[in-house]
Amino acid sequence: MAIPKKVLKLVQERDQHCWHCGTTDDLVPHHRKNRGMGGSKLLDTADNLLMVCGLYNGAMEADAAVGAAARGWGHKLGSWESASRLVFDCSEFTWYQVDVFGGRVKAPWRDEPF
């Protein structure tokens, strides 16, 4: 099930580098809250998607330590968590609030990485 082109374009315009390492190469869309096997189209929203490099995307699922760090940074969300949760841009060392319109606002009230 493909992400709607309109939503993907918003996310690609917002995220021009990987949220983890900062690279601009091999960027792929990543669902913060997993859709699961075939999952819900309701999770294909700009606030639930981040552009990350392919290497990090795979590592979040394959390596428990990387997955745990990703949850701490808001790159991954539990099924009970809201996509309105802040997300940490590791390359900029800055917390952001992302929204359904493809925007992101710096969160000056949050300066700790966790």
Has residue 20 got a pLDDT over 70? yes
Distances (CA, A) of 17 to 44, 50, 55, 81, 91: 20, 10, 13, 24, 9
| Model confidence pLDDT, tens digit, residues 42-66 | 789 999 999 999 999 999 999 999 9
Q: Write the Ramachandran bin of 86: left for phi over 0, alpha for psi from -120 to 50, otherwise beta.
A: beta
- Which pLDDT does position 37 carry in this prediction? 46
Burial class for 80, CB neighbours closer than 10 Å (0-12, 13-18, 19+): exposed
Residue 41: which pLDDT band, with cuts at 50, 70 and 90?
Answer: confident
How much is the pLDDT for 60?
96
Three-state secondary-structure class, residue 6: helix
When the pLDDT of each residue in the chain is averaged and rounded to a whole number, the result is 90
Chain position carrying tokens 């913060």: 32
